[in-house]
A = this chain, B = another copy of it.
Amino acid sequence: MEEIENILENKLVRPTAMRMLVYQYFMGQDAAVSLTHVENAFDKADRTTLYRTLKVFEEKGVVHQIDDGTGTKKYALCEPGCNCELEQDLHLHFHCARCNETVCLTEHKIPHINLPEGFVAEDANVVLKGLCDKCSEK
């Protein structure tokens, strides 16, 4: 818990009790989580607070947002040293059509893409869809 406090402070996020708990929750997840997920995990806390917590986390580079095509935004912890830079930090995501989970493929960075003249890319969202390792076994 001390550790979490340090991480948040390093990211210039004031380590309130709530924020530390949310961070801890993120650490226990291996799939990306939505606001609703967090909400269910913290019955007592208000939706808005959690919403803003996620927003602050995203702005300060604690988590990154993933748009997996389900219509619900998901979030996952950034890797240590991540700066959310295209081609350096940004990685692929995988959404499983069966279990509906979205996971980070942190080993798979986004390959360089030659864009047409005039296009300047600064961010990217890459989601592959199909069956994940757990679901394809069955």
Measured CB to CB, the residues of A under 8 A from B are 67, 69, 71, 73, 92, 94, 97, 105, 107-108, 111, 113, 115-134, 136-137
Contacts and interface: CB of A to CB of B under 8 A. Distances in A.
Number of copies: 2
B113 A128 contact: yes
A116 B129 contact: no
Q: Binding site of A, secondary structure by majority: helix, strand, loop or mixed?
A: strand
Nearest to A66: B69
A129 B124 contact: yes
B113 A122 contact: no
A121 B133 contact: no
Contact of A132 (B111, B118, B127, B128): B118
Interface centre among A71, A107, A120, A133 (most CB of B within 10 A): A120
